[in-house]
Structure 1
């Protein structure tokens, strides 16, 4: 069975976007790029909710470099009840039962499935116990307000820390696995 990993950058106070959906506060530098390069090798599929998909699809097709090559080439699924099409290369639009589709994807052969951003969509998968690992890049910034990464979580989920990687920039990458109650 394929593993689902939620990977997000987050402020120390728990936000992944400002109120106006700005993500320019992320600390992005060579060490983080190296980490992404190392870990993206295990990915076979990316999952997005509508809002994150629209942001990514507006940026990556015109971008250059290794990460852009990865983002533009990998299999992608966008889950939305309102989108009419998903034109970014190698993207499938799913408008039906997201949980059933993700359960099916987990059963298929292929690399690890990653979720980037997509807090509402990720919360749905978390509530159904479908996320196998959380990878968080904690950025050395307090935003004060914004969009919380974890919201609408229906019950407590204990996490086990499995990996830490501090970067010179002050970003600390944490890997957690959910634990049974």
Structure 2
């Protein structure tokens, strides 16, 4: 079965966006670009909620480089009750039950499925136990305000740290997997 990995850049105080969808505080440098390049090799599907999809679809089609090539070429699904079309190359619009569609995708042959951003959409996946791994790039910044990555009311989930990768920039990449009950 395919894994769903939630991968996000986040501030030390837990925000993945500053007010106004501002993400110019992300630390992006060569070590992070190398990590992203390595992790792209395992993924062949991306999942987005509407807001993140619209931001990504506005940026990546005209961008250049290895990450842009990946983002523009990989299969993408956008989950929205309000969009009527999704025109970014290789994007499927899903207006129906997100849980059922993600469960279906997990059972198909293929590589890893990544969720970028999309905190509202991801909250539903977390609640249903559909996220197999959390990858967080902790940025050395306190925002004080913004959009929290994990929504209030997120169910308590014990996590097991499986990987750490500190970068010279101060970003620390952490991989966590939900612990499963032994009972």
Q: Same fold (TM over 0.5)?
A: yes
CA contact (8 A) 1:127 1:153 kept: no
Task: Provide the C-alpha distance between the structure 2 equivalents of 1:30 and 1:79, rounded to a whole number of angstroms.
Answer: 32
Using the alignment, how far apart are the partners of 2:18 and 2:154 within structure 1? 24
Aligned to 2:19: 19
- Quote the residue 2:176 is aligned against: 176
Structure 1 residue aligned with 2:89:
89
Alignment of 1:1-181 (within 5 A): 1-180=1-180
1:44 Cα deviation from its structure 2 partner: 1.0
Q: Distance in 2 between matches of 1:155 and 1:104?
A: 23
TM normalised by structure 2 equals: 0.97
User: Could you give the per-residue CA deviations for residues 66-98 of structure 1, whole angstroms, max 9, x where no partner exists?
Assistant: 000000000000000000100000000000000
Does the residue aligned with 1:58 lie in a helix, a strand or coil? helix
Q: How far off is 1:180 after superposition?
A: 2.8
Deviations 1:77-136 (A, max 9, x none): 000000010000000000000000000000000000000000011010000000000000
In 1, the alpha carbon distance for the partners of 2:49 and 2:35 equals 24
SS at 2:21 equivalent: coil
The alignment of Structure 1 onto Structure 2 pairs a total of residues equal to 181
Deviation at 1:152, TM superposition (A): 4.2
In the TM superposition, what is the alpha-carbon distance from 1:154 to its structure 2 partner? 3.9
Q: CA RMSD in A?
A: 0.8
The separation in 2 between residues aligned to 1:5 and 1:160, in whole angstroms, is 14
TM-score with structure 1 length normalisation?
Answer: 0.98
